[in-house]
């Protein structure tokens, strides 16, 4: 009985570590924005794959891989990815309203697997070195890794579905053109925040 309670406690700690870190952060917001524009199943799958991989790396490899991969390079890639998504969003907004571009949007709608990988890449670079990853590394150093992963992945699934639902609700009240402008501004803000962090760390 004591072993069961201890296992539940470890899973709970891991779950709360990720939930508290991820709800409302840049990954959550990015997932919600992408879900407003693209296939929700593709965005959710990309989010879950990327986040699960991050938790797996944090649990089993931890600080080792973070030592060998220079965080400055990861930060640069995240700036570029957020910047690219911002440019694409502003371009979509510039092209016009939904009514005017309906035929074009149908013709050039991104494929499911393309959306999945775009989401996965964005989330991976956005999350590298995030506080949830650091928290999982710390928990894995002192507790059973499978139990820590169970709690972390459970939290990832909850956050992912919540982000998708938030995106769906927001999409009902915002026009597609305005949504593109807002997406561009949010991704631009994330790129600038990452650039600020990079410049501070480089000094």
> Distance (Å, rounded) from C-alpha 124 to C-alpha 136?
16
E-strand ranges in 65-178 read: none
> So what's the pLDDT on residue 179?
73
Residue 2's pLDDT is: 72
Residue whose C-alpha is closest to residue 68's, from 110, 14, 140, 128: 128
| Domain extents in the chain | 2-202
The pLDDT confidence band at residue 45, using thresholds 50, 70 and 90, is: very high
Can you give the pLDDT at residue 71?
A: 61
Average pLDDT of the residues in 132-142: 78
Whether residue 42 is predicted with pLDDT greater than 90 in this model: the reply is yes
Of 94 and 157, the structure prediction assigns the larger pLDDT to: 157
Share of the chain above pLDDT 90, in %: 13
Tokens of 102: 């309906």
Cβ distance 98 to 171 under 8 Å? Answer: no
């Amino acid at each position: 009985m004591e072993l069961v309670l201890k296992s539940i406690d470890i899973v709970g700690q891991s779950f709360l570590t990720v939930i508290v870190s991820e709800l409302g952060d840049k990954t959550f917001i990015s997932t919600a924005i992408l879900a407003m524009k693209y296939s929700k199943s593709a965005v959710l799958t990309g989010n879950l794959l990327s986040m699960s991989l991050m938790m797996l790396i944090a649990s089993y490899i931890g600080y080792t891989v973070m030592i060998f991969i220079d965080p400055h390079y990861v930060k640069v890639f995240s700036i570029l990815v957020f910047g690219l998504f911002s440019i694409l969003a502003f371009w979509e907004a510039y092209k016009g309203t939904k009514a005017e571009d309906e035929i074009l949007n149908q013709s050039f709608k991104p494929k499911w697997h393309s959306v999945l990988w775009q989401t996965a890449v964005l989330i991976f670079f956005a999350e590298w070195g995030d506080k949830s990853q650091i928290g999982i590394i710390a928990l894995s150093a002192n507790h059973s890794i499978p139990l820590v992963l169970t709690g972390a992945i459970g939290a990832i699934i909850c956050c992912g579905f919540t982000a998708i639902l938030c995106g769906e609700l927001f999409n009902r009240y915002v026009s597609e053109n305005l949504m593109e402008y807002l997406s561009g501004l949010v991704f631009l803000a994330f790129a600038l925040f990452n650039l600020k962090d990079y410049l501070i760390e480089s000094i």
